[in-house]
């Protein structure tokens, strides 16, 4: 059993905890919180030992009936791997503690590549993560980009990618973030950070990205244009996506043309938290002519990186050397089959 601690039990951390608990070869030794809020009660309900970043706040937790197992350092002493899912830039401040304790650590996309010196995507570089002490799982957008770019690159060779990201303004629970009524260029300058971030995983790819933020919470939407080195076939692209364990086709027959309908579909299918772990690529948007491939893909920002964290844990622990096998184990434990199999 790989003993896993989750430092930062928020949007990503609570999902990673449940995904770890679902695996047969892993165990949640604890989760950490800063405040006694609703998520802390969910941790209690799930039976995850609750640790706190600032031990002086123990009385505030215990006053509302939340048993505190100890400090974050206590939690870390009991683990083989910590998944740091604290807010962006906070994770970096935890590195000295992980180094002191000599434990393996995974950071999220809100941290810079340099924090771990290695950026991970199961599809692209699982083997290079085997046995590593430090790994960074790239952001939700970068994860979605890496999966499809790597797949097309292996089949046709990628000459250049141009991707436009229409990003959700906030996660559903974040009531203080916006925008409420604006399309915000984020950033105004080109390229956005997503292109360079893809290079942290796939350094040989030529890519330009642009990004904006809109008033929605559900998902990101990517408009992607790939120039391939060899002529591209629409049918073959659909086949490649369909065969991929972490990409899904939103079939024309479903009549879905928005993130809202997609999330509704995920809810109706009974996915936990309506999570969509896969790239959701709209069948009808796939356009292939000569060396040009275009399509729209929706990315559920809260979910796609969760399964990647599980594979990263397994690779770092060195217990499974084969990427495809780890992906299959992770998916099966979550009962996850990509979306095209449900319509």
Residue 69 in the binding site for ligand NAD (CB under 6 A)? no
Q: Which two tokens stand for residue 44?
A: 């209690």
Least distance between ligand NAD and beta carbon 339 (Å): 19
Which of 30, 36, 49, 109 is close enough to bind ligand NAD by CB under 6 A?
109
Residue 192 in the binding site for ligand NAD (CB under 6 A)? no
Residue 200 in the binding site for ligand NAD (CB under 6 A)? no
What residues are paired with 267 via a beta bridge? none
Candidates 95-103, 104-112, 249-257, 264-272; binding stretch for ligand NAD (CB under 6 A): 104-112
In terms of CB distance, is 140 or 207 closer to ligand NAD? 140
For residue 179, whether the previous peptide bond is cis, meaning omega lies within 30 degrees of 0, is yes
In terms of CB distance, is 83 or 293 closer to ligand NAD? 83
Q: Is 79 a catalytic residue?
A: no
In terms of CB distance, is 201 or 293 closer to ligand NAD? 201
Asked if 293 and 287 count as a contact pair (C-beta separation under 8 A), the reply is yes
Which of 88, 131, 179, 231 is close enough to bind ligand NAD by CB under 6 A?
88
Residue 108 in the binding site for ligand NAD (CB under 6 A)? yes
Give the per-residue contact string, 4-43, with ligand NAD (x = CB under 6 A; - = no).
---xxxxxxx------------------xxxx---x----
In terms of CB distance, is 144 or 248 closer to ligand NAD? 144
Asked if 195 and 148 count as a contact pair (C-beta separation under 8 A), the reply is no
Rounded Cα distance between 317 and 2, Å, is 7
From 79, 124, 140, 146, active-site residue: 140
Which of 22, 53, 223, 240 is close enough to bind ligand NAD by CB under 6 A?
53
Nearest to 287 by CA among 230, 226, 197: 226
Footprint of ligand NAD on residues 170-189 (CB under 6 A)? 171
Candidates 22-30, 108-116, 265-273, 311-319; binding stretch for ligand NAD (CB under 6 A): 108-116
Residue 121 in the binding site for ligand NAD (CB under 6 A)? no
SS3 of the chain? CEEEEEECCCHHHHHHHHHHHHCCCEEEEEEEECCCCHHHHHHHHHCCCEEECCHHHHHHHHHCCCCCCEEHHHHHHCCCEEEECCCCCHHHHCHHHHHHHCCEEEECCCCCHHHCCCEECHHHHHHHHCCCCEEEECCHHHHHHHHHHHHHHHHHCEEEEEEEEEEECCCCCCCCCCCCCCCEECCCCCCCCHHHHHHCCCCCCCEEEEEEEECCCCCEEEEEEEEECCCCCHHHHHHHHHHCCCEEEECHHHCCCCHHHHHHHHHHHCCHHHCCCCEEEEHHHCEEECCEEEEEEEECCCCHHHHHHHHHHHHHHCCCCCHHHHHHHHHHHCCCCCHHHHC
**Total residues contacting ligand NAD (rule CB under 6 A)?**
30
In terms of CB distance, is 81 or 286 closer to ligand NAD? 81
Footprint of ligand NAD on residues 131-170 (CB under 6 A)? 139-140
| Backbone dihedral region for residue 100 (phi beyond 0: left; psi -120 to 50: alpha; all else: beta) | alpha
Least distance between ligand NAD and beta carbon 111 (Å): 6
In terms of CB distance, is 11 or 331 closer to ligand NAD? 11
Residue 112 in the binding site for ligand NAD (CB under 6 A)? no
Least distance between ligand NAD and beta carbon 292 (Å): 30
Least distance between ligand NAD and beta carbon 303 (Å): 9
Catalogue the active-site residues. 140
Applying CB under 6 A, the residues found at the interface with ligand NAD are 7-13, 32-35, 39, 53, 72, 85-88, 90-91, 108-111, 139-140, 171, 301-302, 305
């Amino acid at each position: 059993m790989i003993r896993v601690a989750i430092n930062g039990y928020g949007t990503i951390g609570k999902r990673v905890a449940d995904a770890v608990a679902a695996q047969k070869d892993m165990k949640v030794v604890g989760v950490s919180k800063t405040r006694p809020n609703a998520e802390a009660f969910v941790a209690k309900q799930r039976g995850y030992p609750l640790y706190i970043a600032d031990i002086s706040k123990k009385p505030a937790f215990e006053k509302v009936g939340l048993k505190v197992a100890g400090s974050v350092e206590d939690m870390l002493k009991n683990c083989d791997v910590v998944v740091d899912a604290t807010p962006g830039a906070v994770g970096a401040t935890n590195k000295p503690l992980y180094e002191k304790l000599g434990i393996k650590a995974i950071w999220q996309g809100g941290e810079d590549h340099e924090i771990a010196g290695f950026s991970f995507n199961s599809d692209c570089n699982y083997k290079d993560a085997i046995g590593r002490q430090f790994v960074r799982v790239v952001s939700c957008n970068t994860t979605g980009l890496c999966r499809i770019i790597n797949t097309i690159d292996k089949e046709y060779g990628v000459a250049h990618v141009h991707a436009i990201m229409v990003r959700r303004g906030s996660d559903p629970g974040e009531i203080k973030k916006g925008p409420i009524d604006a399309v915000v260029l984020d950033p105004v300058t080109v390229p956005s950070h997503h292109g360079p971030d893809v290079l942290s995983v796939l350094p040989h790819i030529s890519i330009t990205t642009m990004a904006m933020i809109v008033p929605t919470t559900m998902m990101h939407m990517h408009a992607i244009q790939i120039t391939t080195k060899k002529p591209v076939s629409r049918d073959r692209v659909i086949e490649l996506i369909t065969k991929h364990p972490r990409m899904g086709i939103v079939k024309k027959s479903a009549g879905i043309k928005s993130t809202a309908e997609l999330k509704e579909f995920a809810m109706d299918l009974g996915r936990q938290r309506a999570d969509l772990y896969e790239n959701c690529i709209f069948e009808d948007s796939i356009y292939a002519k000569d060396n040009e491939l275009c399509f729209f893909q929706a990315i559920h920002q809260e979910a796609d990186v969760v399964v990647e964290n599980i594979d990263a844990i397994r690779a770092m622990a060195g217990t499974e050397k084969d990427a495809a096998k780890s992906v299959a184990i992770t998916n099966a434990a979550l009962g996850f089959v990509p979306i095209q199999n449900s319509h």
